[in-house]
Amino acid sequence: MNTVTDSAPAREGIDYTAVKRRQQAVWAAGDFAVIGNTLQIVGETLAEAADIRAGERVLDVAAGNGNASLAAARRHANVTAIDYVPALLDKGAARAAAEGLQVRFEVADAEALPYADAAFDAVLSTFGAMFAPQHERCTGEMLRVLRGGGRIGLANWTPEGFIGQLFGVVGRHVPPPAGVASPALWGTEAHLTTLFGAQARGMQIRRKHFNFRYRSPGHWLQVFRDCYGPVQKAFEALPESGRHALAEDITALLARFNTGGSGSLVVPGEYMEVIITRRGERRA
């Protein structure tokens, strides 16, 4: 199975296949699981908000190392997790095996899901689907594989929150691909309404926070430079003087968001928890 669909058309001069291959390289860099594991609470609260039930067919889109997948499996759902970075799925599979949880991990593109229409009762994504470069295509695929009356549960970083601001800082030093819509749009109600509104019977949006807890700004920066692909690749792309400037700007951002005082680092990262109920009735 191809990890990126070669049939993705160029629109307005954008080669989306090339964009996604670059994304794959970014997310495969470092060791995202070191950071991803700390986000498990987001998967748990999303599974609760989406009312995941035993026996339901659940798809975790852009699953990474499996936070939402494991949360759904703990609730005895029949879970499939997809991502286009095999190494991330391997980490999720190891976690599932360690806990004795049944999850199918499959390499697939969020913009070309290899499943039949109405194949799932619920579709989840924690900080994953928002990074698909073609927002409408990703949305259309999630809606297509979801049965009528099913739920989509999303956790998306907001543009004004810490991670949204972090990507803004990084983008000023290493510009993102020209013309590609910002993933932070998924953290705005207006964009979600544009993407899902026509197919949504209901949409619940809550602003929530995940607290990044580290020993110090320097500790956070070291972990993210070593393990978080987007930050690691940004530093690698810069000369030494540029790396120093980026480190200074990120440290200033951490200081602005830190609520932990001088003895530690506690940075609230705002995100939107979104539950969308699809129009239509469940098929027998």
Residues in the chain: 284
- The answer for residues whose C-beta is within 8 angstroms of residue 280's C-beta and 6 or more apart is 147, 148, 149, 201
Two structure tokens written together for 29: 């860099």
- Indicate the angle between helix axes 217-227 and 240-257, nearest 10 degrees: 130
Start-to-end CA span in the chain (Å): 31
Unique residue bearing structure tokens 């390289």: 25
pLDDT of residue 272: 98
Token couple for 266: 């506690």
CA 69 – CA 122 distance, rounded (Å): 11
pLDDT value of residue 204? 97
List, run by run, the mean pLDDT of 10-residue segments along the chain (284 residues): 40 83 92 95 98 98 97 98 96 97 97 98 98 96 98 98 97 92 96 95 96 97 96 97 98 97 96 96 56
User: In the numeric block, which tokens belong to residue 41?
Assistant: 């609470």
132 touches 16 (CB < 8 A): no
Whole-number Å distance between alpha carbons of 89 and 96 = 10
- Nearest partner of 108 among 75, 77, 145, judged by Cα: 145
Q: Whole-angstrom Cα distance, residue 141 to residue 127?
A: 17
Single-letter amino acid code for the residue at 202 = G
User: For residue 83, what are the β-bridge partners?
Assistant: 107
pLDDT score, position 9:
40
Q: Is 51 left (phi over 0), alpha (psi -120 to 50) or beta?
A: left
CATH class of the domain comprising 16-211+268-278: alpha beta
φ/ψ of 81, rounded to 5, equals -115, 130
> In whole angstroms, what is the distance from residue 82 CA to residue 90 CA?
11
Q: Exposed, middle or buried by CB within 10 Å (0-12, 13-18, 19+), for 117?
A: exposed
Domain ranges across the chain = 16-211+268-278
Q: What is the pLDDT of residue 12?
A: 62
Prediction pTM value: 0.92
Helix 217-227 to helix 229-236 angle, to the nearest 10 degrees?
A: 90
